[in-house]
Amino acid sequence: MNRFLDFIEGLGAGITGKLDRLGRGAMFFAALLRILLPTFKRFHENIRQVYFAGVRSLAIIVVSGLFVGMVLAIQGYEVLQRFGSAESLGSLVALSLVRELGPVVAALLFAGRAGSAVTAEIGLMAATEQLAAMDLMAVDPMARVVAPRFVAAIISLPILALIFSSAGIIGAYLVGVELIGIDAGAFWSQMQSSVDFKLDILNGLYKAIVFGVAVGLISVYEGYHANPTAEGVSSATTRTVVISSLSVLILDFVMTVLMFRGLN
C-alpha cells in the first residue's frame, strides 16, 4: 500500500515538475517576445548567429538531403513499378520531401547540429559568469545573447528546409532518371502536376518556421536555465536534442492534420 502511495506521489511530483517547467518556458517565451523587436536593431549580431546556426549547418543538410532523396527514389521506384506507374516517382518524392521530410528531417538535424551548440554555448556563458558580467555592464543578456540566437533559428531553419528538399529532389533525379532510366520529362511533369505551390510548398515552409520557433526556443531556454556546472550544461544539451526532436514530431503531426485534413 505504502509503495503504491509512493508511486502516486512520485507521479504527482513528476507532473507538477513538468507543469512547472512548462510554465517557466511559457514565461521565458513571453519575455523573449517582448524584446524581439529591438533585437533586430542588433543587425550584425543576428547575421553572426545566422552564420553559426544556418551556414554551419549547410553541409550536413545538403548531404543528408541528397541521400534521403536518393533512397526515396530507389524505394519509391521499387513500389511504383509494381503498379506500372514508375513515372509517378517525381511526384512521390517531391510530395514527401516538400510536405514532410524536408521540414521535419531538417529540423531534427538542426536541433542536433545547431540547437545543441546554442544550448552548450549559453550554458557555458552562464557557468563562467559571462551572462552575469554582461548584466552588470547594463547590457541585458536576454537581448544580447538569447534573442539573436532565437531569431537566427527562425530565419535559418526554413531556408535549410527548402535547401534540404531541393537537394533531395536533385538526389532523386540523379537516381531515378540518370541511374534507373525513368524519362526525365515524365519525372518533372508528374511532379509539377501534383505539387501545388500554395498547398504543399508554402505549408511545408510554415511547418519549418514553426519548427524553427520550437527548436530555437528550447535551445535558448535549456541553455539559459542550465545548472552552471559541466554536468548541468551537458544534460541541458541532451535535453535540447530530445525535447526538440519530440516537439518537432508532435507539432508536425498536429500541423499535418490541420493543413491537409480537408484534402482527401
Partner 1 sequence: MTAGSETDLITLRDVRFGYTDRAVLDGLNLTVPRGQILAIMGGSGSGKTSLLSLLSGRNKIWSGSVKVDGLEVGSLNRRALYDLRARMGMLFQFGALFTDLSVFDNIAFPYREKTDLPEPVIRDLVLMKLEAVGLRGAARLMPSQLSGGMARRVALARAIALDPMLMMYDEPFTGLDPISIGIVGQLIQRLNATFGLTSIIVTHDLTETLRIAHRVVIISEGKVYRDLTPADVRESQDPFIRQFADGLPDGPVPFHVAAPPYAEELLSAP
Partner 2 sequence: MTRSRTNLAVGFFVALGMAAVVFMALKVGNLASFDNGAGYRLEARFDNIGGLKVRAPVKSAGVVVGRIEAIFLDGETYEGVVQLRIRPEFRFTSDTIAAILTSGLLGEQYLSLEAGGDPRYLIEGDRITKTQSAMVLEKMIGQFLYSKASESSGDRK
Q: What is the nearest approach in angstroms of partner 2 to the Cβ of residue 103? A: 13
Q: Is 138 in the site for partner 1 (CB under 8 A)?
A: yes
Angle between helices 43-53 and 147-173 (to 10 degrees): 40
Q: Is 200 in the site for partner 2 (CB under 8 A)?
A: yes
Q: Is 229 in the site for partner 1 (CB under 8 A)?
A: no
Identify residues 87-126 at the interface with partner 1 (CB under 8 A).
Answer: 121, 124-125
Q: Is 144 in the site for partner 2 (CB under 8 A)?
A: no
Q: In whole angstroms, what is the distance from residue 76 CA to residue 90 CA?
A: 9
Q: Is 94 in the site for partner 2 (CB under 8 A)?
A: yes
Nearest of 201, 220, 209 to residue 251 by alpha carbon: 209
Q: What is the nearest approach in angstroms of partner 2 to the Cβ of residue 194? A: 9
Q: Which of 196, 206, 213, 232 binds partner 2 (CB under 8 A)?
A: 196
Q: Is 190 in the site for partner 2 (CB under 8 A)?
A: no
Q: What is the DSSP letter of 137?
A: T
How many other CB atoms are there within 10 angstroms of residue 139's CB atom? 13
Q: In whole angstroms, what is the distance from residue 163 CA to residue 66 CA?
A: 10
Q: Is 199 in the site for partner 2 (CB under 8 A)?
A: yes
Of 1-9, 33-41, 111-119, 154-162, the segment contacting partner 2 by CB under 8 A is 154-162
Q: What is the nearest approach in angstroms of partner 1 to the Cβ of residue 160? A: 22
Q: Which of 1, 30, 136, 263 binds partner 1 (CB under 8 A)?
A: 136
Q: Is 196 in the site for partner 1 (CB under 8 A)?
A: no
Q: Is 263 in the site for partner 2 (CB under 8 A)?
A: yes
Cell numbers given for 264:
482527401
Q: In whole angstroms, what is the distance from residue 264 CA to residue 251 CA?
A: 21
Cell numbers given for 227:
545548472
Q: In whole angstroms, what is the distance from residue 244 CA to residue 221 CA?
A: 11
User: Are 208 and 161 within 8 A, CB to CB?
Assistant: yes
Q: How many chain residues interact with partner 1 (CB under 8 A)?
A: 15
Q: What is the nearest approach in angstroms of partner 1 to the Cβ of residue 33? A: 17
Q: In whole angstroms, what is the distance from residue 197 CA to residue 249 CA?
A: 23
Contact residues toward partner 1 (CB under 8 A) are 121, 124-125, 128-130, 132-139, 144
